[in-house]
Amino acid sequence: MTIQEAQEKVDLWIKTFGVRYFNELTNMVLLTEEVGELARIIARKYGEQSFKESDKGKNMDEEMADILFVLICLANQTGIDLTEALQKNLEKKTSRDSERHKQNNKLI
């Protein structure tokens, strides 16, 4: 699925099952909440915290998909073409950072 197709599918899902988009502020809060849930799993899986009983059964792929869904909702309701935005972002990063990371001794 392309990013454009994902934006279209999320829009159709919202209009079919979600009634309407939550407002932008609500979606921003939901996005932050979903990122927090991913952070919790990463902290337990790769960090020094142990899993709690309530953490069991949660996985990173579901949390990342939740984040992507809400991000796509925000893009759709604010008129952002994520394909175009990502392409511009990659061009900016390439122009700005094409040598920077190669010269970072911390990465070598």
Q: How many beta carbons lie within 10 A of that of residue 9, not counting itself?
A: 13
Give per-residue pLDDT as tens, 64-101.
Answer: 999 999 999 999 999 999 999 999 999 999 999 888 88
Sequence-separated (6 or more) residues with CB below 8 Å from residue 70: 27, 30, 31, 34
- What's the mean pLDDT in 34-39? 97
The model carries a pTM of 0.90
What pLDDT, on a 0 to 100 scale, did the predictor assign at position 54? 84
Please report, for the chain, the start and end positions of each structural domain, with discontinuous segments joined by +.
3-82
Residue with tokens 């792929």: 61
- The answer, yes or no, to whether residue 44 has pLDDT greater than 90, is yes
Nearest to 38 by CA among 20, 10, 64, 3: 64
Cβ contact 70:32 at 8 Å: no
Q: What mean pLDDT, rounded, does the chain reach?
A: 94
- What's the mean pLDDT in 40-66? 92
Which of 3.40.50.300, 1.10.287.1080, 1.10.10.60, 3.30.70.360 would CATH assign to domain 3-82? 1.10.287.1080
Q: What is the DSSP letter of 62?
A: H
What pLDDT, on a 0 to 100 scale, did the predictor assign at position 82? 98
> For 47-81, b where at least 16 C-beta lie within 10 A, e where not — what string?
eeeeeeeeeeeeeeeebeebbbbbbbbbbbbeeee
